Amino acid sequence: MNSHPHQHEHTEAVLNRLSRAIGHLESVRKMVEEGRDCSDVLIQIAAVKSAVNNIGKIILKDHIKSCVVDATVTGDDTVLEDLNVAIDQFMK
Amino acid sequence: MNSHPHQHEHTEAVLNRLSRAIGHLESVRKMVEEGRDCSDVLIQIAAVKSAVNNIGKIILKDHIKSCVVDATVTGDDTVLEDLNVAIDQFMK
């Protein structure tokens, strides 16, 4: 767990985007419940997937800009190791 | 809009997975609010992205199995055209 106050440049934007993605996924759930056209559902699923991916990219960039740069200054190698695991998961 | 009753073999599974993905995304939002480690957040974002992708694959397979096969019998070309648009969105 990091000891520095864990706020980033885009934390507010990330929270807003997460809230929107949650609302979007709830509307997709309603579409499936209502038996809406599969092609329309798939297009909305694709939009959510893309939104979640973009949120990940913002978090990754913010993380590199602050945490990784801090860790480099302090010589904390575990931050880079943890990030590499996360990148492997995120980009597969 | 399709006129047939729009239930598929895996509709219940899709609804359950959508509910779980919504809950998962809410927990990610909480992690970001609490300033949790970025690498941990990224790993959870990756898991949600993968879950959303898998939901899309189930919907696509269900759709091909029922709607597309029905449409082929009735000669309704618009179903295939709509699906192709959806696949282009979903797989990019």
**Inter-chain residue contact B49 with A56, CB threshold 8 Å:** yes
Per-residue pLDDT, B3: 44
All structural domains of chain A with their residue ranges: 11-90
Look up the CATH number of domain B11-90: 1.20.58.1000
pLDDT for the residue numbered A16? 98
Measure the CA–CA gap between B58 and A77, rounded to whole angstroms. Answer: 41
The angle that helices A77-90 and A38-63 make with each other, rounded to 10 degrees, is 170
Name B40's Cβ contacts closer than 8 Å, sequence gap at least 6.
A82, A86, B31
Nearest CB neighbour to B45, from listed A6, A59, A82: A59
Percent of chain A at pLDDT > 90 equals 54
Share of chain A above pLDDT 70, in %: 93
Question: Between chains, do B6 and A35 touch, taking CB under 8 Å as contact?
Answer: yes
Per-residue pLDDT, B80: 87
CB atoms within 10 A of CB B68: 16
Contact B29, A19 (CB under 8 A): yes
Which one has a higher pLDDT value, A86 or A31?
Answer: A31
Q: What is the pLDDT of residues B35-80, one digit of tens each?
A: 999 999 999 999 999 999 999 999 998 888 888 888 888 988 898 8
Q: In chain A, what residues touch B67 (CB-CB under 8 Å)?
A: 38
CA of A21 vs chain B CAs: smallest distance (Å) = 8
Q: Provide, rounded to the nearest whole percent, the portion of chain B with pLDDT above 90.
A: 54
B24 contacts chain A (CB < 8 A):
no
Q: Looking at the predicted structure, is the pLDDT value of residue A22 above 60?
A: yes
**Which residues of chain A from 2 to 21 reach within 8 Å of chain B, CB to CB?**
2, 5-8, 11, 14-15, 18-19, 21
Place of tokens 């009735």: B74
